[in-house]
Every structure is written in structure tokens, then in C-alpha cells.
Structure 1
Amino acid sequence: MFRHQKELQFEVKVDRPDPMLARQIQEVLGGQFGEMTVMMQYLFQGFNCRGEEKYKDMLMDIGTEEIGHVEMLCSLISQLLDGASPEDQAEAAKDPATAAIMGGINPQHLLVSGLGGLPTNSNGVPWNGSYIVASGNLLADMRSNLHAESQGRLQVARLYHMTKDEGVRATFRKMLARDRYHQYQWMEAIKELEEKNGVVVPASFPPEAEKESQPEAYEFWNLSEGTESEEGPWATGSAPDGSGEYVYIKDPIAKGQIPNPEVPNTALHHDLTRKKVLSK
């Protein structure tokens, strides 16, 4: 059950209208790494979570908080659009000074939402459900959550430096702080799950099941010019789970065959002829 509370999680108050900034903020509302994405991602992971209740409870707690963040951003966008009108946009085309502020307004804020936030990114591309990850594997999902929070916080930090509006910045500071804590939460969950099951997803398919393919689990194939990649800890030393030692393959050689597919039936009108591949 969800229940809406009228008060926002944090105060949202702008110093002055700024339609251009409203358009930019759409990215952290309805973009790939915006609040709509993390809201839906955590909620669907929580809805579908089976097993230990603490993980489900954490997912639902944070997912529900993100609903509030979506509402905060909609309020922020609305305040930044206060006073905007179609006449303002038309006038902006005549006056370069006004155009610097009003010329970048998202027309959909006037035509579609009536000066409100939209479920789109900063270019008007609609939010897409394929942005979210809810696989049913806790460790895989928690890593996706950490990635989503990292990208989202990065974008809010960039937006912070794109405005001097102290009211907007105050809201961003709250969001940045919460996004930082959410990263901590996912890190802690990841650490616990790795200690319990191992660092590789899925843990239910162990290395032994790879049979003859196990050596490939530790080889770094150098497939670009130079050998600088050899300098990283991913190319030398032990695997994080201690199951093997890395090997740097400086000049890797292909181990497979040359594909020799059958030519389809002529009814497919492919205009292909059979070419015999010589065996080595």
C-alpha cells in the first residue's frame, strides 16, 4: 500500500524562473539515469524480491523515497517555468538577451504539460521501461543499483554547476547527499552478498561447472595496440575470489574455426552463391 503525504521530503524553492534550466533538469527526472529510472528499478526489484525480507524492505524503502524525489523534481520544474508563455518564447526570437533565457524552453512544457514536469529527458525523449534492471538476482541487481546511483549523482553534480540559483542548488545538495547515502547502501549490500556467495554472478554456476573452459576465466587478451593494459591489477595477480591467477596474453591467437554457414533456399531471393571454404 502506498500513501501520499502532501509535504515534500525536502524544501523546493527557486530564486527566479528559468525555463532553460527546467529543460535541463528533465534529464535527471526522465532520462536514462533519472529519478524515474531508479524509482521504477528499486520498486520492481522489491515487488519481485523473494527470500530474505531485509533486502525487500530496503528496496521498498529506497524505491518509495525515489517516488518523493520525482515529485520534488516536478515541483522544481514547475517553479522554474512560472510565468512562461507562448508569447515569451515568440518574443525570445526577437531579443538575443531574452533568448539566452527563454529561447531554450522545451516547447512541450508549454504544449503538453502546461508548465509542469514531463516523463521525458532533456531532449523530450520519453522515459523507457527498458532503462530498468530487475533480474531477480540480488547481487546483479545491487550492482546495477550502484551504477544507476553513480550516474544519477554525476548528472545532478553537473547540473549544480550549471546554475547560480541558490534555491535550486539547495535542493540539489539534498539530492546529492541522498544519492551518496544510497551508494553506501548498495555498497554494503554488495559486500554482504559477495561475502556470502562469492563475487561472480551467478554464484549458483560455480567455476567447476565451466569444466575445460576454466583457463579462459583468467586470461587477459591484449586485442588493441600496445601493452599498457598489462599494467593494471586486472591482468596480473590473483582473482578476487582467490580461485586462480591472471595470465596476460600479449599476442592472442584465435582458437575457433572460420564460419561456413549454409546458403539459404533461393526462394529467399538472397542472390548468394555457394563458396567453398578450404579446410586447413
Structure 2
Amino acid sequence: MFYHDNELQYEVEVEEPDPTFARALQQAIGGVEGEMRVANQYLFQAFAVPSDQQAYKELLLDTAAEELGHIEMLATAVKKNLRDTSVSLGDISSDDATGLASIAGMQPRQYLSGGMNPTATDANGFPFSGNYVVASGNIAADMVANVMAESTGRLLATRLYEMTDDPGMKDMLAYLVARDTMHQNQWLELLTELGDSEEPFDVLPIPDSFPDAEENEEFNYAFLSTNVEPTEDPEQPWTTGASPDGEGEFSYVRQLDLDGAPPDVGHAEAETYNDPTPRDEG
């Protein structure tokens, strides 16, 4: 069950409206790095958590609800940045460089589809896609995906921060950067708790419940070099020494030194009509 509060989670102020920045902010709403992605990701991950792991479910739901609040903050920022924006070239003189740049830089769908309001799209007007959402049912895999999502989200927020000189926008984005810092750390903490707390990589490889005996152990810790030039083991941390999960030793193997196998793929069934030969000549 969700409840709505009429106040924003954090103050959103815009001193100098900028329709070009309003377009950029759309990426943080409906883009692959955006808040719609993480809000839905955490919701669907929470729906899969078993009842005896209620603390994990509450953590995911709390953060999902917070991300919904971030969407509201960003939508408010978009709307304020579109304030008093002209949408007609007839209203702008030919020597008004700022006005012309304003129309050229805005996202047309914010006007055409939204009536000068935010939309559920990225900065290019592409609709949000549920394909961005990762909810695998394996909480360890999901936490790794969440760290990545918060990392790219924080990266986007820092780039947006550099794009604007508006004090209010910088303040809002500094807050969002800070929340992404927390979220990265809380997902890492949960990931660590899933295994031995003294071994941060104890849950690796994911899923660690697959029987070791069923895995091809000749290649499970082998770095395969696909370089066509003859090269020796560079003795990097990922080609020699113990693996982070503590279950194997890295090795270095050149793919060209291994025996390959022919694909040996036959023809499809006649009912597919893949054969280009005319029937009367077959």
C-alpha cells in the first residue's frame, strides 16, 4: 500500500528557467539511468522477496518509494524550467540568439505531448522501457544490478550538475548525488550480509548454489585471451593468483591454443520455406 504526501522530499527551486536543461533532466526521469528505472526495479525486486526476509523487502520498498519522490522532484524541476518558454518562432526576433537557442534546445514532446510538462521519456523523447528493469528473483544478482543502477544514476546526476549554473538546480542535484551515495552503500551492505560478513565476495559467483561438480572446472577461472597476436601471460590480477570468491586460481589461456569445433548446423524444416530454390527446380 502506498500513501502520498503533498510535499516534495527536497526543495526544488529554479531561478532562471532553461528549456534546454528541462530536456536534459528528462534523462534522469525516463532514461536508462533514471529514477523510473530504479523505482520500478526496487518495487519488482521487493515483490519477489520471501516473507521470512521481511527486512530486505522493507529496505527495497522504502527505497522504491523514495525514488518515486525523486521522479516528482525532477518532474517539478522540468516544469519550472519550462516556465514562460516561447514555442513559436513568430514570437522571437531573428537577432534573438537566446530565444532561438531556447526553441532549438527544448524537447518537442514536452510541448507537443505534454503541454509544456514533463513526460515519461528520456532526453530524446524515447518512452521509458520496462526492459531497463532488472528483477531476477536472486537477491544477490539484484543487489549487483542495483549498485550498477545507482552508479550510473549518480554519474548522470553529476553530469547534470555540471551542465547548469542555476543555484537551485545545483542544490537539488547535490541532494540526489548524496542519496545515490547512500543507495550504493546500502546495496553493497546487503550483498555482504547475504554471505559471510567477513568475506565481502562470499556470495560469488552468482548463483553460488549451482553445484560445483556440474560446472566445467577447466574454464571457470581461466582468462581467455582472444588476441590474435602471440602473447605471454601479462600476470595481471585477473590472470594469476586467487580469485576474489576464494574458490579458485586464475589462469591465462590463449583461445587460439584451444581446439575449436565446427558449428555443423543443418537445414531448417521445409515448412519454414528458407530454401530459395524455386519449387519446379528443386
Q: TM-score, normalised by structure 1?
A: 0.89
Q: Which amino acid aligns with 2:259?
A: K
Q: Quick one: which of 196, 199, 205 aligns to 1:200?
A: 205
Bigger mean CA offset, 125-134 vs 235-244: 235-244
**Cα distance, 1:155 vs. partner?**
0.7
Q: Which amino acid aligns with 2:80?
A: Q
CA RMSD of aligned residues (A): 2.1
Q: Which runs of 5+ in 1 are unaligned?
A: 273-280
Q: Secondary structure at the match of 1:217?
A: coil
Bigger mean CA offset, 75-84 vs 259-268: 259-268
Alignment of 1:95-110 (within 5 A): 95-110=96-111
Q: Which amino acid aligns with 1:247?
A: S
C-alpha distance in 2, partners of 1:229/1:36? 44
**Cα distance, 1:54 vs. partner?**
1.0
**Cα distance, 1:177 vs. partner?**
0.3
C-alpha distance in 2, partners of 1:112/1:269? 43
Residue 93 to residue 105, structure 1, CA distance change in 2 (3 Å): farther
- The corresponding residue for 1:260 is 264
- The corresponding residue for 2:170 is 169
Identity %: 39
1:158 and 2:162 matched: no
Alignment of 1:162-241 (within 5 A): 162-195=163-196, 198-210=203-215, 213-224=216-227, 227=231, 230-241=234-245
Q: Which runs of 5+ in 2 are unaligned?
A: 278-282
C-alpha distance in 2, partners of 1:151/1:19? 24
C-alpha distance in 2, partners of 1:27/1:89? 29
C-alpha distance in 2, partners of 1:133/1:246? 29
Q: Which amino acid aligns with 1:85?
A: S
Residue 231 to residue 124, structure 1, CA distance change in 2 (3 Å): farther
Residue 91 to residue 115, structure 1, CA distance change in 2 (3 Å): same
- Whether the 8 Å contact between 2:86 and 2:103 is mirrored in structure 1 is no
Q: Which amino acid aligns with 1:202?
A: P
**Cα distance, 1:111 vs. partner?**
1.5
- Whether the 8 Å contact between 2:134 and 2:142 is mirrored in structure 1 is yes
**Cα distance, 1:254 vs. partner?**
3.8
Q: Which amino acid aligns with 1:206?
A: P
Number of equivalenced pairs: 270
- Whether the 8 Å contact between 1:43 and 1:59 is mirrored in structure 2 is yes
1:7-26 deviation per Cα after TM superposition (whole angstroms, max 9, x unaligned):
11100001111000000010
Residue 163 to residue 101, structure 1, CA distance change in 2 (3 Å): same
- Whether the 8 Å contact between 1:93 and 1:103 is mirrored in structure 2 is no
**Cα distance, 1:101 vs. partner?**
3.0
Q: Which amino acid aligns with 1:152?
A: G
Q: Which amino acid aligns with 2:221?
A: Y
1:18 and 2:13 matched: no
Q: Secondary structure at the match of 2:88?
A: helix
- The corresponding residue for 2:280 is none
- The corresponding residue for 2:33 is 33
Q: TM-score, normalised by structure 2?
A: 0.89
Alignment of 1:116-155 (within 5 A): 116-155=117-156
Q: Secondary structure at the match of 1:120?
A: coil
1:270 and 2:270 matched: no
Alignment of 1:57-72 (within 5 A): 57-72=58-73
Residue 84 to residue 187, structure 1, CA distance change in 2 (3 Å): same
- Whether the 8 Å contact between 1:145 and 1:186 is mirrored in structure 2 is yes
Residue 194 to residue 100, structure 1, CA distance change in 2 (3 Å): farther
